[in-house]
Amino acid sequence: MSVPSTLLVLTHGGAGASAAHADGCQRAAVVGLSTLLRKGSALDAATAAAVVLEDDDRFNAGTGSNLRLDGRTIQMDAAVATSEGGYGAVGAIERVKNPILVARTVLGSPHALIVGQGATALARRIGHADYDPTTPRARAKLDRALSILRQAGVAPDQEPAAARWQGGVRERLWNFDDGCDTIGAVARAQGGTFAAACSTGGTLLMLRGRVGDSPIYGAGLYAGPAGAVCATGIGEEIIRHLLSRSVYEWIAGGTPVGEACRRGVDLFPGTVDVGLIAVAESGGGAAANRPMPVGRAEASPPAAQGLD
Ligand code: ASP
């Protein structure tokens, strides 16, 4: 008789985020697990966990997302992926409370990735009200970065000046000491199906229209029959490594989950913030080159507990 997989949810609150935010990650993992215990799918669980984190304004996703360089605009990216090959994502979506729920709707649509005004229009059409995710903390964070830029002689309010970030200024400011605070969740449901969800307000210094790794299949997230993976960190670097897909391939090839995550992190120089969470049949794992708050919740399936 085969032993049923335990139900498992892992969440993260961003590479470089404060360890003091771990309670939010744990709360999200517990909500994801309770979804599984009510017979929700891995996708239901990862999505439910991501909603909790989007609604927690300490994280850079949904409410609390970073502002763009213009000091006014918030554009968010979100995606979900399942071990059955489902994938749906939104990029640069504006003025919605829960981008992850819009990404989930895209998964059920003929499309895979919808961006910009089209994504916002879709959100309205399916009932997401106009919502301003700006928080005083996000504004203060951008103001601090802009003042450092000005001291460095860069005029950040002129977008063409962005080219001048290349060099020391960019390295000093890219997410500086505030970390990434972006969010992600991976889940394993009864029967060994998997899902990943990630959502972000992006990095700190961003032009309008910039899209990071989070909604890119194989970069910010990936799921397949062997497990689910979710990345956080500097999107431009993560995309180049197709990071989540690479880690998934190692897991599928037999590398233990935690070791595969560590190997993924080790692809990057120490100057690049990066973190990973993953679940597989053998368990869950996480690794990061910065402090990264993580939540984890696990239980036997109701049938194994005699609750079915
Ligand atoms: N990966 C996200 C991005 O580049 C940011 C993050 O993980 O904090 O948009």
Give the full edge-to-edge strand order of the sheet including 76-82: 113-115, 87-93, 76-82, 193-200, 183-189, 7-12, 294-299
Residue among 152, 199, 157 at smallest CA distance from 173: 152
Count of other CB atoms within 10 angstroms of residue 57: 18
Catalytic residues: 182
pLDDT, position 240: 96
**Atom from ligand 1 closest to the CA of residue 232:** 7
Q: Is the pLDDT of residue 262 over 50?
A: yes
- Find the mean pLDDT for residues 107-111: 96
Q: What separation in Å is there between the alpha carbon of 202 and the centre of ligand 1?
A: 5
Q: Is the CB of 193 under 6 A from ligand 1?
A: no
Give pLDDT, residue 207: 85
Q: Tell me what the mean pLDDT of segment 237-245 comes to.
A: 97
Atom of ligand 1 nearest to the CA of 211: 9
Q: Best mutation site among 21, 214, 244, 277 for ligand 1, i.e. most ligand atoms within 8 A of its Cβ?
A: 214
Instruction: Reply yes or no on whether the pLDDT at 160 is more than 50.
Output: no
156-160 contacts: CB < 8 A, separation 24 or more? 156/69, 156/205, 157/69, 157/70, 157/71, 159/69, 159/70, 159/207, 159/208
Does residue 75's CB lie within 6 angstroms of at least one atom of ligand 1?
no
Give the CA distances from residue 58 to residues 54, 80, 98, 134, 286, in Å, rounded to whole numbers and listed in that order: 9, 22, 15, 12, 21
Q: Is the pLDDT reported for residue 152 higher than 80?
A: no
Q: Is the pLDDT of residue 112 over 80?
A: yes
For the residues 229-233, what does the mean pLDDT come to?
A: 97
As a whole number, mean pLDDT of residues 132-160 equals: 78
Q: Is the CB–ligand 1 distance for residue 203 below 6 Å?
A: yes
Going from the Cα of 143 to the center of ligand 1, the distance in angstroms, rounded, reads 19
pLDDT(93) > 70:
yes
User: Which of 164-168, 281-285, 304-308: highest mean pLDDT?
Assistant: 281-285
pLDDT reading at 115 higher than 60: yes
Q: Ligand 1 atom closest to Cα of 233?
A: 7
Q: What is the mean pLDDT of the chain?
A: 90
* pLDDT tens per residue, range 17-58: 888 999 999 999 999 999 999 999 999 999 999 999 999 999
pLDDT (tens digit, 9 = 90+) per residue, 57-90? 999 999 999 999 888 999 999 999 999 999 999 9
- Indicate the SS3 state at residue 286: strand
Q: Give the distance (Å) from ligand 1 centre to CA of residue 215.
A: 10
Average pLDDT rounded to a whole number, residues 217-246: 97
pLDDT at 203: 86
Band of pLDDT at residue 5, cut at 50, 70 and 90: confident
Nearest atom, ligand 1, residue 236 CA: 4
Q: Which residue has the CA at smallest separation from atom 9 of ligand 1?
A: 202
pLDDT recorded at residue 173: 54
DSSP line for 115-137: EHHHHHHHHHHTTPPP-----HH
Instruction: Print burial letters for 170-186: b (CB count within 10 Å at least 16), e (below 16).
Output: eeebbbeebbbbbbbbb
| % pLDDT > 90, the chain | 75
Q: Whose CA is nearest to atom 8 of ligand 1?
A: 180
How much distance in Å is there from the Cα of 46 to the middle of ligand 1?
Answer: 18
Confidence of residue 175 (pLDDT cuts 50, 70, 90): very low
The pLDDT tens digits for 176-192 are 455 568 999 999 999 99
pLDDT at 164 over 60: no
- The architecture in CATH of the region 7-299 reads 4-Layer Sandwich (3.60)
